[in-house]
Amino acid sequence: MSAAVQQAPAFSPTPSQLAVAYSVCRSIARASARNFYYAFLALPKAKRQALCAVYAFMRRCDDITDEASLPLNDRRQKLAEWLDGLHRALSGYPTDDPVLLALTDTQQRYKIAPELLNQLAYGTAMDLQESPAGSQPGMHAPDVQYRSFEDLRVYCYRVASVVGLVCIRIFGYRDRAAEPLAENLGLAFQLTNIIRDVKEDAAMGRVYLSQEELEKFDVSPSELHSNGDSARLRMLLGSIADRAREYYRAGDELIPLIDEDSQPAGSTMFSNRKSASPPAKSSLSWERACSSAWGNEPALDTFCPSGGGGRRPGRTSRRFGSCPQRLPRHSVRASSLFGRTCFFLSAPRHWRNS
């Protein structure tokens, strides 16, 4: 909690203020994560609103982190100010920011630990790393930030597993066994995102693969944004897909542990993600490995673009696990729970435009 947050004055928003705040969050989710938004429709209204508030908060974190027009230090400062605003709102200080107003109500209503919300912001901040002096994205071999998978797991935990933990608090559960399952499912979602976005991330100077794994398969960072079809790279991505597939098994065990009114949406979401998980590595070219993580192999221009980074209309988020861009018809009708993950939110680049 920020040092600036001390004894707070009494502040209680009116029902009309909360209605407007949640409406703003709903509009953000509907505009920025369309499939994600429709995934909420099978949930009761209060839970649907709560997930929209969490999404809007994470989206703001994501937008600040990815604001390329600002120097890294300015982005760090802006993110710190955003987090300080959250701390003040959670401590009872009035806020005129509709996202923070709705999120504070959600946090109180569903007893979400403030530290979980902190971790979401800290995860996005991990992408604000300095590049070598004078270098530009795409002009040099991307930097490898993570020595081992356990190091990378910290990042995945913050940007995806924590989202799962927040989501199940909104869904409702009684058995604490749901918590590690939500964490593992978040890891599965994020590993799928990593496979999908290897090439684009590398073009932006970001590598979400560990040095140990690159060395194991004799893959250099510079190969990640090349147009070559490397058997070694296919094997590396296949290895990550195998790991993700193991984590996806948590979804089958998690559904019965969440409240019944959340199970239909959750079941649809998990079945979508399971069907969209990476296929067997032996049949993949490396670009198809990226796109096939979403079950949309022909859509290479959307899911695994050959160009550099940047946001593209219709692409999903890199952080916070996300849903396939094109949901099956039954998914649109029944709706899945987190659409872009939430999870599960699996949010913005973290849930980006879907």
Give residue-wise pLDDT tens across range 311-345.
333 334 556 544 433 323 222 222 222 333 333 33
The answer to whether the CB of 189 falls within 8 A of the CB of 271 is no
Mean pLDDT for 231-243 is 93
Looking at residue 269, its pLDDT comes to: 64
Q: Which domain holds residue 219?
A: 15-130+139-334
CATH number at residue 182: 1.10.600.10
Please say if the pLDDT value at position 273 is more than 90: no
Lowest-confidence region among 5-19, 149-163, 210-224, 283-297: 283-297
Distance CA 247, CA 195 (A): 15
Closest CA to 336 of 277, 276, 267, 274: 267
Give the chain's count of helices (H) and strands (E). 17, 2
The answer to whether the CB of 263 falls within 8 A of the CB of 240 is no
Please say if the pLDDT value at position 94 is more than 50: yes
Which of the two residues, 187 and 268, has the higher pLDDT score?
A: 187
The answer to whether the CB of 161 falls within 8 A of the CB of 249 is no
Reported as a single tens digit per residue, the pLDDT across 37-57 is 777 788 999 999 999 999 999
Mean pLDDT for 93-98 is 95
Mean pLDDT for 77-92 is 96
Please say if the pLDDT value at position 149 is more than 90: yes
Residue 313 is assigned to a structural domain of this protein: yes
The answer to whether the CB of 225 falls within 8 A of the CB of 199 is yes
Residue 348 is assigned to a structural domain of this protein: no
The residue with tokens 């890891």 is: 187
- Which two structure tokens, joined as six digits, stand for 192? 């799928």
The tally of domains found in the chain comes to: 1
Which of the two residues, 182 and 295, has the higher pLDDT score?
A: 182
H or E element at residue 145: strand 143-146
Residue 4 is assigned to a structural domain of this protein: no
Distance CA 297, CA 44 (A): 34
- Average pLDDT value for the chain: 76
Residue 349 is assigned to a structural domain of this protein: no
Looking at residue 295, its pLDDT comes to: 39
- Which two structure tokens, joined as six digits, stand for 6? 């001390």
Going by pLDDT thresholds of 50, 70 and 90, the confidence category of residue 272 is low
Looking at residue 6, its pLDDT comes to: 56
Distance CA 23, CA 272 (A): 27
Looking at residue 61, its pLDDT comes to: 96
Distance CA 139, CA 123 (A): 26
Reported as a single tens digit per residue, the pLDDT across 193-233 is 999 999 888 888 889 999 999 999 999 988 887 765 678 99
Residue 110 is assigned to a structural domain of this protein: yes
Which of the two residues, 37 and 134, has the higher pLDDT score?
A: 37
Residues 8-15: contacts with CB within 8 Å, 24+ apart?
Answer: 8/88, 8/91, 8/92, 8/93, 9/92, 9/93, 9/94, 10/92, 11/92, 11/93, 11/94, 13/101, 13/105
- Report the range out of 9-13, 77-81, 143-147, 307-311 with the highest average pLDDT: 77-81
The answer to whether the CB of 338 falls within 8 A of the CB of 345 is yes
Residues 6+ apart with CB under 8 A from 299: 291, 325, 326
Going by pLDDT thresholds of 50, 70 and 90, the confidence category of residue 156 is very high
Q: How many whole angstroms from its chain centre is CA 195?
A: 14
Percentage of residues of the chain with pLDDT beyond 90: 52
Looking at residue 106, its pLDDT comes to: 98
Q: How many whole angstroms from its chain centre is CA 26?
A: 18
Mean pLDDT for 291-309 is 32
Residue 69 is assigned to a structural domain of this protein: yes
Residue 295 is assigned to a structural domain of this protein: yes
Q: What sign does the CA torsion over 203, 206, 208, 212 have?
A: positive
Residue 175 is assigned to a structural domain of this protein: yes
Looking at residue 303, its pLDDT comes to: 27
